[in-house]
């Protein structure tokens, strides 16, 4: 399964967000692998973040991560930097539809 997500940073949070992602906690990487995420790439355009994810089942992965203590700590660190964050509620309002594929 491949999908894209869109989130947005608060103004002034760019450098701090990038620093965190240059040094993602090993436990966060392991949690993502454990729930079936095989690839996760984040692109930034100004304050807009575009996430490309490959995983077995995103709905299951996001449901498991929603209650994972490591993910909860990581999201607490990210929250002050985010204007619009990843939706762990299952409503998936941050998903982007595929428009073209080669």
Residue 75 lies in a domain: yes
Q: What is the mean pLDDT of the chain?
A: 93
User: Residue 94: its pLDDT value, please?
Assistant: 76
* Total structural domains within the chain: 1
Residue 47 has pLDDT above 90, yes or no: yes
Residue 91 lies in a domain: no
Residue 101 lies in a domain: no
Residue 89 lies in a domain: no
Residue 99 lies in a domain: no
- Where residue 30 sits, what CATH number does that domain have? 3.30.70.100
Q: What domain range is 20 assigned to? A: 2-84
pTM value > 0.85 = yes
pLDDT per residue over 31-45, tens digit each?
999 999 999 999 999
Cα-based distances in Å from 76 to 11, 47, 73: 18, 19, 5
User: Residue 37: its pLDDT value, please?
Assistant: 97
Cα-based distances in Å from 39 to 13, 36, 75: 24, 9, 19
Report H helices in the chain: 14-22, 26-34, 58-66, 69-78
């Amino acid at each position: 399964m491949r999908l894209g997500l869109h989130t947005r940073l608060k103004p002034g949070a760019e450098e701090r967000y990038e620093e965190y992602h240059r040094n993602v906690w090993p436990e966060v990487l392991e949690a993502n692998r454990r729930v079936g995420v095989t690839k996760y790439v984040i692109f930034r355009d100004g304050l807009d973040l575009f996430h490309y994810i490959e995983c077995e089942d995103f709905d299951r992965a996001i449901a498991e991560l929603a209650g994972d203590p490591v993910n909860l700590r990581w999201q607490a660190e990210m929250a002050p930097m985010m204007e619009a964050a990843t939706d762990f509620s299952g409503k998936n309002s941050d998903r982007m539809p595929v428009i073209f594929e080669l």
